[in-house]
Amino acid sequence: MLSAVLITATAMRLIEEHGGSGPSSAPTRRRSTGTSAVMDEVIRQAIDGFEPGPDWLATLRELAIRIYRTNLAHPRVARLAAARVTRRPNEARAIELVPSAQRSADFADTDAVGYYHAFIDMTLSHSALDSAVRSQPPAVREAHRNAWRENYRQLSPDTRGEHRRHRPPPGRTPERQLLRDHPRPCAGRARASEFPEHGM
């Protein structure tokens, strides 16, 4: 008899190779159950071994990076995870981590719930977006990346000045900077001095 671990691993491989049912489709109950198990396994990989530290902001940052990197390793699953709830044990474990870290910074329970949704929605949507980009053929991905240099830089500053002012600086990866910094909005009332700069 096949073990649950083997079944989940096989389902994950099939999703990554052939794709899964989209968020708007109507999957069968069996397929939906298998997809939820795969998504829960990806969550397990992200949080296994993770220990919250005394600094709540560093805890959220590390958790966001773990989720992001694990999702990028399973790009098709990441896109499904951004639109679904698994109702499974590892998802429940992950949900406990964010509000508990925020309460250690004296957030009220109602505030912690709201900030949790902002935090996890941004983490999942950002990793799903980058997963979609990385799933493109290399030539297509590079063409889109080069558009900033080859197309928008040539636009007239008189008519399209914002394009030139807001293009990414050379050598900087905006998505990594955003991922590193995005727990900051969860701070709400916290002082700006509580936000030390840390590299990824």
Q: How far apart are CA 129 and CA 145, in angstroms?
A: 14
pLDDT at 190 over 50: no
Q: pLDDT tens across 36-53, in order? A: 888 888 899 999 999 999
CB 149 within 8 A of CB 35: no
Q: How far apart are CA 171 and CA 41, in angstroms?
A: 34
The answer for residues whose C-beta is within 8 angstroms of residue 130's C-beta and 6 or more apart is 68, 72, 175
Predicted pLDDT of residue 183: 56
CA 77 remoteness from chain centre:
12
CB 140 within 8 A of CB 118: no
Domain extents for the chain? 4-18+28-130+174-190
Of 18-32, 49-63, 85-99, 140-154, the one with minimum mean pLDDT is: 18-32
What CATH number labels 4-18+28-130+174-190?
A: 1.10.357
Predicted pLDDT of residue 182: 57
Using alpha carbons only, give the angle 88, 94, 99 rounded to the nearest 5 degrees: 130
The answer for residues whose C-beta is within 8 angstroms of residue 23's C-beta and 6 or more apart is 80, 82, 83, 84
Confidence of residue 67 (pLDDT cuts 50, 70, 90): very high
> Residue range 109-137: average pLDDT?
86
pLDDT at 66 over 90: yes
Count of helix runs (H) and strand runs (E) in the chain? 9, 0
